[in-house]
Amino acid sequence: MSYLKTAILLAGLTGLFMGVGYLIGGSGGALIALLIAAATNLFAYWNSDRMVLSMYGAHEVDQRTAPDLYHLVAELAGRAGLPMPRVFIMDEAQPNAFATGRNPENAAVAVTTGLMQQLSREELAGVIAHELAHIRNHDTLLMTITATIAGAISMLAQFGMFFGGNRDNNHGPGIIGSIAMMILAPLGAMLVQMAISRTREYAADDLGARICGQPMWLASALGKIANAAHRVPNNEAERNPATAHMFIINPLSGHGMDNLFTTHPSTENRIAALQQLAAQMGAMPANRGTIPRRGPWGRPSASRGPWG
């Protein structure tokens, strides 16, 4: 059902894009707009992962520089039937993580130093499994496409203020229609983009819990990350809010409601869904399971941290 809903939303986003192009320049304008969007998507397809990793100052690690993290990602990738993704660490106090890449063969998982310091190994396993689920579901490419189309709609709507007018029938939207289009089209695109993001988060929670085998590990992690994210600002994310949908928990301040204007479902709803899944699977409580321990991740934490 989540895939069908995603397909419907993506089709709606594409239809909105084509509609804006048609209002501006008729069928010819729609075709030109489509070609521009295709070129933009092609660029994003090849470069979006490098751009976002660079934006957040992420540095790549391996089994020599971060052996515990690397081995955990490798173990979970094996369970998920995925190639080993590249592993990155962001020097950021807010606990959070995201995955990127155009396909499973060219994927990357990035975690913050705050995440490694504040979560137990089991909770970190739940987070990484969630990100691997995004890779396995090809969500990283999907969200790049939706963000690009949404951006193109905003660009076209602003062009409509200056170049409005249907070339086929000489009846353009007019000044009032152009203003309405400039406001409503980007808003509609944003709502559809957010709806797609929320749909994919639920799907990644479910698959990620199955990959690590313990839904409550992820549920516990989500609770900790959400609490910390509201207290610890992510300045880079605040400067680039268009990337907020990539993170496992919304990194921006002031987003706690599961409504049309959030990029993520409410954490309470996600945890409730994971609790239901745990009951179905007969899973053990959080912080118990079969992920082997390999030693500390980094600096000590005041609470129960990465050592367990």
Mean pLDDT of the chain: 78
Confidence (pLDDT) at 283: 60
What are the structure tokens assigned to 304, written together?
């129960």
Over range 219-234, report the average pLDDT: 94
Comparing 206-210, 226-230, 269-273, the range with the smallest average pLDDT is 226-230
Catalytic residue at 122?
no
Give CA angle at 109 (106, 111), nearest 5°. 160
Higher pLDDT, residue 299 or 178: 178
Considering the candidates 92, 123, 131, 201, report the single residue annotated as catalytic.
131
Say if strands 107-112 and 97-101 run parallel, antiparallel, or are unpaired.
antiparallel
Block residue for tokens 């610890």: 232
Taking the model in full, what pTM does it have? Answer: 0.75
Residue 86: is its pLDDT beyond 90?
yes
pLDDT, one tens digit per residue, over 186-199 is 666 666 666 667 77
For the sheet containing 59-61, what is the strand order? Answer: 59-61, 86-90, 107-112, 97-101
Residue 70: is its pLDDT beyond 70?
yes
Q: Do 245 and 193 touch, CB atoms closer than 8 A? A: yes
Higher pLDDT, residue 203 or 257: 203
Confidence (pLDDT) at 89: 98
pLDDT, one tens digit per residue, over 260-296 is 456 788 999 999 999 999 999 986 555 444 554 443 3
Q: How much of the chain exceeds pLDDT 90, in percent?
A: 43
Over range 118-147, report the average pLDDT: 90
